[in-house]
Chains A and B, each alone.
Chain A
């Protein structure tokens, strides 16, 4: 026990004197968690509360163009900037290049007349199907010139789709109103009353969003709940930079030769490293979680809500940390130089993070990657944390994520022992 304690003390001393390693271990995850949460939070806010700058060029002089303008305004998603009708498409593009707006809509000159014509045709068809005859409406199959949507190439596809959805909804509203007005006029020979129009066209069914949580709470997950656990896992595994290098340095600097001639098994050194760095990963998690809880709100970011099952969080953190430490030691045992350990370690962690669902949600992963994803320890760490942080689960709810993680850790330990044996280090 004294040997183990002396070794732990030695490892702690070396660790605390490695300033660069400490920066990697503690500053990097804090910066990552803050930056990524802030970026993702601002995206959420842009979609939910902020508005997207949009140029609107209404070349139509009729009611429908104005109604469409009003409907787009009502969507609440856009910061409308009116452009006079005589401005050319080219000039609008130039303004977008100058970052005046990321999207622009051009309503064609004959929009109202075409909409009305199409509405009359649709109404006539509908009335005929209802068995009603009308002389005022004629059926036909005219087409409406499309509305032009210009978008800046920086706009991501998913974001563009949500804008398109909002526009379609506004257009649908204008078209439906015209069809309704036309049908009402044909039947009653008078204008559709405003009160009835509003009642018919207003959305009667509200959408009640409820997150599916295991504990029955209705806390809506925010950017912090998603990002803080994810980047904590990433940081834990990035310990490979410090620990992997430490193992290689020990092998190369000659102290290893001396250790082999002493009456103590090298496994003591490995156990010491595992305990020391497991403590480090635990402190990393505690620091990042604390920042999420106490610092984020003062930075205007959503607060991290800790799950009710704190014991579960502690156990999951320890198991994730143990896996991260085991992986770093394995890299250190097999690497021949510090550069190899750093390069292979860093790249492999980024790859495992990518396939493990840290960069892209695991449900969005292609079918072919589902198997590879399950080999990534970061995937299981993330799933276990999400089970606690997002789903409000308890330790028993994430056991099925912890078991594969323990299995992977066990395999990593076996590979490490094989490497040490093969290199005659134990």
Chain B
């Protein structure tokens, strides 16, 4: 039986100066080794939930455990357990990929030789070896996405949280990123992923949760959900469960 990589119990979170809670008594469990996809319309609470999981936001009620460790308060020791790939390019554009990895590797707790080895490996796997010393600001959007991903995984995290890791990239880059993520998962990394690219999600995720208006409205394996709702794809399931109206207007 698998252990929980992420266990969320009765989570309650309200943004400052807002009266309506974003989440109230939200429960979810992600098991170790899963490729977990969290989907929902704009404003449903996906990014907020990820920010609570990574300690970027401090929730008011309930608890979140990462591999059995409580993160009631943002504790730096827990941060070693997960890697985070934010939606924005979260690195220094003035630096090269190698320089970025050297800095973020050190901040992730790695030593010099480990950083060196891991940098060579990651740049090779993600097709950035030839531009390892070029400034990232000269890169295309796809290359920047790969740098963003490389930084998130440099310390071999047990859990990898990805917030729309392939937004704005071409088919080749998306394919490369998804394949790399699958490979990471095969090596034991639990993936927690959110995206609006539902075709990509079908390819990547084996467990899916749909969130709408701060509530989990479906949570199961992708195949079971499609079977239950008589849909042949994630997009149909998404429309079926969340409706067709705009959510961010």
- Chain A contacts to B: CB under 8 angstroms: 2-3, 5-7, 9-10, 13-14, 17-18, 253-265, 268, 424
Contact B95 A260 (CB under 8 A): no
- Which residues of B are interface residues toward A (Cβ below 8 A)? 54-56, 58, 74, 76-80, 82, 84, 86, 88-95, 99, 102-109, 111-112, 135, 151-152
A256 to B99 alpha-carbon distance, docked (Å)? 16
Q: Give the chain A neighbours of B95 by CB distance below 8 A.
A: 10, 13-14
The 8 Å CB contact of B77, one of A253, A260, A263, A268, is A263
Q: B76 touching A264 by the CB < 8 A rule?
A: yes
CA separation between A74 and B89, bound complex, in Å?
75
Contact A262 B89 (CB under 8 A): no
Measured CB to CB, the nearest residue on chain B to A263 is: B79
Bound CA–CA A17/B74 (angstroms): 34
The contact sample of 9 A-B pairs, CB cut-off 8 A, is A6-B106, A7-B106, A18-B94, A253-B92, A258-B84, A260-B74, A261-B54, A263-B76, A263-B78
Q: How far is the CB of B126 from chain A (nearest CB, A)?
A: 17
Extra pairs beyond A18-B94, A253-B92, A424-B58 (8, CB < 8 Å): A3-B107, A6-B102, A9-B103, A17-B94, A254-B86, A257-B90, A261-B55, A263-B108
Q: Contacts A2-B111, A2-B112, A263-B79: A10 and B91 contacting too (C-beta < 8 A)?
A: no
Q: Is the CB of B88 within 8 A of A257?
A: yes
* Contact between A258 and B91, CB atoms less than 8 A apart: yes
**Other-chain residue from B102, B104, B112 in contact with A262 (beta carbon distance below 8 A):** B104
The 3 closest A-B pairs by CB, nearest first: A6-B106, A254-B88, A254-B90
Contact B90 A255 (CB under 8 A): yes
Could you tell me the distance in whole angstroms from the C-beta of A425 to the nearest C-beta in chain B?
11
8 Å CB contact of A10 from B88, B89, B90, B92? B92
| B79 CB to nearest chain A CB (Å) | 4
Q: Is the CB of A254 within 8 A of B89?
A: yes
Give Cα distance in the complex from A391 to B105, angstroms. 51
Beta-carbon contact of A6 and B103 below 8 Å: yes
Contact B99–A13 (Cβ < 8 Å): yes
Q: Within 8 Å CB of A5, what residues of B?
A: 106
Contact partner of B108 among A14, A253, A262, A268, CB < 8 A? A262
Report the minimal beta-carbon distance from B154 to chain A, rounded to whole angstroms: 10
> For B56, what are the chain A residues with a Cβ–Cβ distance below 8 Å?
257, 260-261
Asked whether, in the complex, the Cβ of B107 is within 8 Å of the Cβ of A253, the reply is: no
CB-based nearest B residue for A269 = B107
Residues of chain A with a CB closer than 8 A to B55's CB: 260-261
Among B80, B84, B93, point to the contact of A253 (Cβ < 8 A): B93
When distances are taken between beta carbons in the complex, the residues of chain B under 8 Å from A6 are 102-103, 105-107
Q: Is the interface of A mostly helix, strand, loop or mixed?
A: helix
- A175 CA / B60 CA spacing, docked (Å): 92
Residues of A within 8 A of B84 (CB): 258, 261
Docked Cα-Cα span, A358 to B112, in Å, equals: 47
Inter-chain contacts of A254 with B (CB < 8 A) = 86, 88-91
A424 to B59, CA, bound (A): 13
Q: Nearest-CB distance from A255 to chain B (Å)?
A: 5
Give the docked Cα–Cα distance between A184 and B92 (Å). Answer: 91
Which residues of A are found within 8 Å of B103, using beta-carbon distances? 6-7, 9-10
CB distance from A7 to the nearest CB of B (A): 7
B106 to chain A, nearest CB (A): 4
Query: Is there contact, CB below 8 Å, between B99 and A258?
Result: no
A7 to B55, CA, bound (A): 22
A258 adjacent to B94 (CB under 8 Å) = no
Interface centre among A260, A261, A424 (most CB of B within 10 A): A261
A10→B86 contact, CB < 8 A: no
Q: Which residues of A contact B74 (CB under 8 A)?
A: 260
Docked Cα-Cα span, A17 to B96, in Å, equals: 12
Q: How far is the CB of A271 from chain B (nearest CB, A)?
A: 13
In the complex, chain A residues whose CB is within 8 Å of the CB of B90:
253-258
Contact residues in B for A264 (Cβ distance below 8 Å) = 76, 106-109
Could you say which of B77, B82, B102 has the most chain A C-beta atoms within 10 Å of its C-beta? B102
Report whether B99 and A10 are in contact in the complex, using a CB–CB cutoff of 8 Å: yes
Query: B104 to chain A: which residues have CB within 8 Å?
Result: 258, 262
Q: A263-B79, A265-B76 are in contact. Are A13 and B88 (CB under 8 A)?
A: no
B101 CB to nearest chain A CB (Å):
11
Contact residues in A for B78 (Cβ distance below 8 Å): 263
Complex Cα gap A241–B93 (Å): 19
A14–B80 touching, CB < 8 Å: no
Q: Which residues of B contact A17 (CB under 8 A)?
A: 94, 135
Chain A residue with the shortest CB-CB distance to B96: A13
Given A2-B111, A263-B80: A257 and B86 within 8 A (CB)?
Answer: yes
Task: Report which residue of B92, B95, B105, B151 has the largest number of chain A beta carbons within 10 angstroms of its beta carbon.
Answer: B92
Chain A residues positioned under 8 Å from B105 (CB to CB): 6
Q: Are B109 and A258 in contact (CB under 8 A)?
A: no
Docked CA distance A257–B76 (Å): 14
Determine the distance from Cα of A5 to Cα of B107 in the docked complex, in whole angstroms: 11
CB distance from B64 to the nearest CB of A (A): 14
Contacts of B91 in A (CB 8 A): 254-255, 258
| Most chain B beta-carbon contacts within 10 A, residue among A2, A5, A9, A255 | A255
Complex Cα spacing A5 to B106, Å: 9
B13 to chain A: closest CB distance in Å?
A: 14
B106 touches A261 (CB 8 A): no
A160–B99 CA distance with the chains assembled, in angstroms: 62
